[in-house]
Amino acid sequence: MQKKLITSLLLGAFSMGAANLYAADKVWITLGDAAYAELQKLAPKTIAKESKVLQSGGAGIMAQEKVHLVQVDESVLLGLSGAIHHKLNRCGGFMSHTSEASGRAALTQPMQMMALLAPSYVIDNQATVTPYLTQMQDSNIGQTIVDMSAFPNRYYTTTNGVNASNWLKTKWQQMSSARSDISVAQFTHAGWAQKSVILTIQGSDNGSEVVVLGGHLDSINLNDRSESAKAPGADDDASGVASLTEVIRVMLANNYKPRRTLKFIGYSAEEVGLKGSAEIAAKFKADNVNVVGVMQLDMTNYKGSAKDIYLYTDYTNAAQNSFVANLIATYLPSLTVGNDVCGYACSDHASWTAQGYPASMPFESLINQDNPYIHTPNDTYANSGSQALGALKFARMAMAYAVELGSDGAVVTPPAGVLIKDVAVSFAGAAGAQSKYTFAVPAGASNLSFKMSGGTGDGDLYTQLATAPSTSSYLAKSDGSSNAESIVIAAPAAGTYHLLANAYAAVNGASIVASYSTTTPPGCTPSATVLCSGVGVSGISLALNASKTYTIVVPAGKSSLTFKLSGGTGDGDLYAKLGSAPSSTVYDGKSDGSTNAETVTINSPAAGTYYLLLKAYAAVNGASLVATIQ
């Protein structure tokens, strides 16, 4: 990093002093040794709660780094960002943590530099990649940079920061609206308004393996964090998001269908301690998502150094980094590649590394020749030369990475008639033709689904637990007039489900896929009386007038809490209440129809323990219950 302006450090220190008069909101952060030394100048009384030498994976003296866990006033962080950027001769920042425990976890977690099961890094998709690379255009990338940097700022707490997230969501949605295997969603962060944006291309036959490509959508002006601040963030990091957007555009133009699932992410709140990516990576980890590779594009369009691309070797995965170098040598042989290190937590790749996922961070310059305009009102497209040729190089590299990793899949050939979770099988036949399958569903699964899609004709689906269904006897069916069929059982009983696919009219080229989720939310252990979001309870039976009370803990900032009773026979009713057990006369919400099909939804639930009373108005047999917090 360039040693220059100390103004913002001084301003940072001033504003810190002022803020100290008012708020003393404490936050936990982990930070590298050099940043810790800066912190001690800003807040001399700060004492590390824990310090640990981490293997950073960098070369030479950067192979290890001492990292500290401290609790500081939130206001100190403002000064710290400035100090790190302007005083240190290298980059790298700090990671914010929501609790002391998660900060300690960041220190104790074995920083897993090598994936346990590295994916294949064989380069064998030239026929796909090469034509895609020629279709990629710098002008599109330039336009996206111009559009994003037109927001006066994208700071994570500002209105414009929120608007920029919404803008990106809409842009990616519009680009991908024709594809049913692509979804665009915002990831809500409980602590601040700006959402991350995630575009998912569902893998065709190895969808449980995930490849992540990301950049951060927020920006910062280190001297002004107000609503009216100017922080165009053209290079940092509209350029990374714009590079990814061009990858998406060309994939879609060619109707590319990856075998693994691809996720493109615009992270919120990178500039304030990797907050957005930390939450996302932690959520993926908690959900046991098998992320086989992560690439971070943060600053791709400013040519600060002689070489085209620098692969940062610290807090990244060495095996994947050499794969990326091989990709460049294969597909972009005219580009030159160097290495450098950026220090503890310099961008969102570090959030993934901290969770044990293999990540890489290709960057536009050496660390001590970085773009001098970042984090100021001067990080404009003009100051990157009003061109996007640099970003185009990174976009092409990212395309090669996404297609080479995205096209791999474990070849799964299930025995005939046995469905494997998330693995599609094809279905075709003349009118009246039938195919029969079985599908094993474990205890605690929720949202069991059987879906048919694609091709022509009119196929229908019928399912039943333990015994084969027919078109007249089934637990659930979907018999619309096309091949678009979907059966969803919210809280399925465990066991073997039988599926009948029936060609009502001749079917050609359809596929069928069965799935369920088994996600137990972190910190929740289901029991006979404790419900966890998304984890179904099945086989519920209650005598006439008998009742049962469950509890569920709802975190702050959630938009809805839903209890859903279904299946079985009888007439169960639901009553829900915050803080204490409801009765059939005292409740916050109820559903008391004349069957077991009951749903209670509480919008914007308060944080706390909700109690659910399930009462048998008539005897209940074999019903299922699931609570969902969103």
Nearer to Zn ion, 38 or 236 (CB): 236
DSSP string, 250-310: HHHHTT---SEEEEEEEES--TTTSHHHHHHHHHHHHTT-EEEEEEE----S---SSSSEE
CB 315 within 8 A of CB 57: yes
- Rounded Cα gap, residues 523 and 99, in angstroms: 14
**Residue numbers 264-283 binding ligand BES by CB under 6 A:** 270-271, 273-274
Residue type at position 120: S
Nearer to Zn ion, 205 or 236 (CB): 236
CB 501 within 8 A of CB 426: no
Compute CA distances 465 → 347, 437, 495, 537, whole Å: 48, 12, 7, 16
**Minimum distance from residue 442 beta carbon to ligand BES (Å):** 40
- Rounded Cα gap, residues 337 and 349, in angstroms: 19
**Minimum distance from residue 184 beta carbon to ligand BES (Å):** 23
Instruction: Name the residue among 203, 180, 135, 177 with its Cα closest to residue 402.
Output: 203
**Minimum distance from residue 379 beta carbon to ligand BES (Å):** 10
Q: Does 236 bind ligand BES (CB under 6 A)?
A: yes
| Maximum Cα–Cα distance across the chain | 80
* 375 annotated active-site: yes
Q: Does 136 bind ligand BES (CB under 6 A)?
A: no
Phi-psi region at 274: left, alpha or beta (left = phi > 0; alpha = psi -120 to 50): left
Q: Does 298 bind ligand BES (CB under 6 A)?
A: yes
Residue type at position 18: A
> Which strand (E) or helix (H) includes residue 391?
helix 389-406
CB 54 within 8 A of CB 129: no
**Minimum distance from residue 154 beta carbon to Zn ion (Å):** 11
Bridge partner residues of 513 (DSSP): 451
**Residue numbers 308-347 binding ligand BES by CB under 6 A:** 342, 345-347
The b/e string for 61-91 (b: 16+ C-beta within 10 A; e otherwise) is ebeebbbbbbebbbbbbbbbbbbbbbbbebb
**Minimum distance from residue 156 beta carbon to Zn ion (Å):** 12
DSSP string, 187-249: E--TTSSPPEEEEEE--SSEEEEEEEEEEE-----TT--STT--B--IIIIIHHHHHHHHHHH
Nearer to ligand BES, 264 or 610 (CB): 264
Nearer to ligand BES, 80 or 476 (CB): 80
Nearer to Zn ion, 222 or 251 (CB): 222
Nearer to ligand BES, 94 or 437 (CB): 94
Instruction: Name the residue among 310, 302, 268 with its Cα closest to residue 374.
Output: 302
**Long-range contacts of 166-174, Cβ-Cβ distance < 8 Å, separation of 24 or more:** 166/195, 168/197, 168/217, 168/241, 168/266, 169/195, 169/197, 171/144, 171/147, 171/245, 172/197, 172/199, 172/245, 172/248, 172/264
SS3 of 45-67: CCCCCEEEEEECCCCHHHHEEEE
Q: Which does 347 bind (CB under 5 to 8 A by kind): ligand BES, Zn ion, none?
A: ligand BES
Q: Does 236 bind Zn ion (CB under 5 A)?
A: yes
Q: Which does 510 bind (CB under 5 to 8 A by kind): Zn ion, ligand BES, none?
A: none
**Residue numbers 104-133 binding ligand BES by CB under 6 A:** none
Per-residue x/- track, 260-299, Zn ion (CB under 5 A): -----------x----------------------------
Instruction: Name the residue among 124, 19, 167, 171 with its Cα closest to residue 407.
Output: 124
- Of 205, 370, 404, 460, the one binding ligand BES (CB under 6 A) is 370
Q: Does 379 bind ligand BES (CB under 6 A)?
A: no
Q: Is the peptide bond before 237 cis (omega within 30 degrees of 0)?
A: yes
Q: Does 94 bind ligand BES (CB under 6 A)?
A: yes
Residue type at position 231: A
Mode of pairing for the β-strands spanning 495-517 and 434-441: antiparallel
Radius of gyration of the chain (CA): 27
Instruction: Name the residue among 85, 91, 30 with its Cα closest to residue 346.
Output: 91
* 236 annotated active-site: yes
User: 237, 246, 271, 598: which one is catalytic?
Assistant: 271
- Of 68, 85, 154, 263, the one binding ligand BES (CB under 6 A) is 85
Q: Which residue is nearest to ligand BES (CB)?
A: 93
Q: Does 91 bind ligand BES (CB under 6 A)?
A: yes
- Rounded Cα gap, residues 184 and 570, in angstroms: 40
Q: Which does 92 bind (CB under 5 to 8 A by kind): Zn ion, ligand BES, none?
A: ligand BES
CB 146 within 8 A of CB 381: yes
Nearer to Zn ion, 39 or 342 (CB): 342
Nearer to ligand BES, 346 or 441 (CB): 346
Per-residue x/- track, 503-542, Zn ion (CB under 5 A): ----------------------------------------
- Of 32, 92, 266, 526, the one binding ligand BES (CB under 6 A) is 92
* 298 annotated active-site: yes
**Minimum distance from residue 100 beta carbon to ligand BES (Å):** 19
**Minimum distance from residue 459 beta carbon to ligand BES (Å):** 50
**Residue numbers 535-574 binding ligand BES by CB under 6 A:** none
Q: Which does 218 bind (CB under 5 to 8 A by kind): ligand BES, Zn ion, none?
A: none
Q: Which residue is nearest to Zn ion (CB)?
A: 236
* 216 annotated active-site: yes
Nearer to ligand BES, 271 or 598 (CB): 271
Backbone angles phi, psi at 547, to 5 degrees: -145, 165
Nearer to Zn ion, 239 or 628 (CB): 239
Q: Does 38 bind ligand BES (CB under 6 A)?
A: no
Nearer to ligand BES, 28 or 256 (CB): 28
User: 216, 348, 498, 598: which one is catalytic?
Assistant: 216
Size of the site for ligand BES (CB under 6 A): 22
User: 38, 298, 308, 408: which one is catalytic?
Assistant: 298
Q: Within 10 A of 342 (CB to CB), how many other CB atoms are there?
A: 29
- Of 299, 311, 332, 400, the one binding ligand BES (CB under 6 A) is 299
**Minimum distance from residue 161 beta carbon to ligand BES (Å):** 14
The two three-digit tokens of residue 19, written as one number: 């803020």
- 585: Cβ contacts below 8 Å, ≥ 6 apart: none
Chain positions contacting Zn ion, by CB under 5 A: 236, 271
| Active site members | 216, 236, 270-271, 298, 375
Chain positions contacting ligand BES, by CB under 6 A: 81, 84-85, 91-94, 236-237, 270-271, 273-274, 298-299, 342, 345-347, 363, 367, 370
